[in-house]
Structure 1
Amino acid sequence: MFAEIAFLLYVGHLLADYPFQTDHQAGCKAEVGRKGWAANLAHAGTHLLTCGVLLAIGSLTLGWHLPLIPAAAAVLWIGATHSIIDRRWPVTRWMNAARQAGWAERGGAAHVDQTAHITALAAAALYLAA
């Protein structure tokens, strides 16, 4: 069951991060102030909704019996971690601590960002499958 949950959450992540993310959200989600937080929370909400819908579809079609409260907690975890990671400072701090400034300048931050997101999804999938 872990593999199926993880796969659906990953598909939800890709949908929410690429075709469902607006230009405004992508450009403003890390800004300081109300505008940045509004874009960030709207984008995180897209992740909540998309992953929640896919978990519901998985439950209906694959016969999962996911308890509602743990499933809601997992989806909230995905939204919250996505919001924090997308503020960009966690990735910057990680790359500075790991002495990856050169890689960051050559586009590495996007890879570290996605790795952080997928790690959070894997944790949610493990939690639900346990």
Structure 2
Amino acid sequence: MFATLFILLYVAHLLADYPGQTDRQAKHKADCGAAGWRANLAHAGVHLAVSGLALAAGRIALGLDLDFLPAAAALLWITGSHAFIDRRWPVARWMRFARQTGWAQNGGAAHVDQAGHITAICIAALALAT
């Protein structure tokens, strides 16, 4: 069940992060102040909705045995971790800590960002599969 959940949540992530993210969200989700938080939380909300639909589709189409509370907790984890990572400072701080400043200046932050998101999805899928 883990592999199925992971694939469903990963596809949901790709849909929410790329075609589901507006230019405004992408540009402003890490900004300070209310406008930045609105953009960030709107983008995280897209992840919540698309991931929720993916889990519902898995339950209906594939007969996955998902209880409401664990599924809700997984969705909150995905949404919250996505919002946190997308503030951008956690990725920048990690890259400084890991001595990756050169890579950060050459496009590496996007890869570290995605690694964080995929790790959070993996944790959610593992938790739901147990």
**Deviation digits for residues 79-123 of structure 1, max 9, x if unmatched?**
000000000010000000000000000000000000000000000
Once residues 86 and 98 of structure 2 are traced to their aligned partners in structure 1, the CA distance between those partners, rounded to angstroms, is 19
SS in 1 for 2:106: helix
Q: Residue 93 of structure 1 corresponds to which residue in structure 2? A: 93
SS in 2 for 1:9: helix
Over the aligned positions, Cα root-mean-square deviation in angstroms equals 0.3
Q: Kindly, what percent of the aligned residue pairs are identical?
A: 63
Q: Residue 83 of structure 1 corresponds to which residue in structure 2? A: 83
User: Between Structure 1 and Structure 2, how many residues are aligned?
Assistant: 130
Structure 1: which amino acid aligns with 2:7? F
Structure 1 segments, 4+ long, off by >2 Å, are none
Q: Residue 9 of structure 1 corresponds to which residue in structure 2? A: 9
The Cα of 1:64 is off from its aligned counterpart by: 1.0
Q: Residue 118 of structure 1 corresponds to which residue in structure 2? A: 118
Structure 2: which amino acid aligns with 1:111? H
TM-score by length of 1: 0.99
TM-score by length of 2: 0.99
The Cα of 1:6 is off from its aligned counterpart by: 0.1
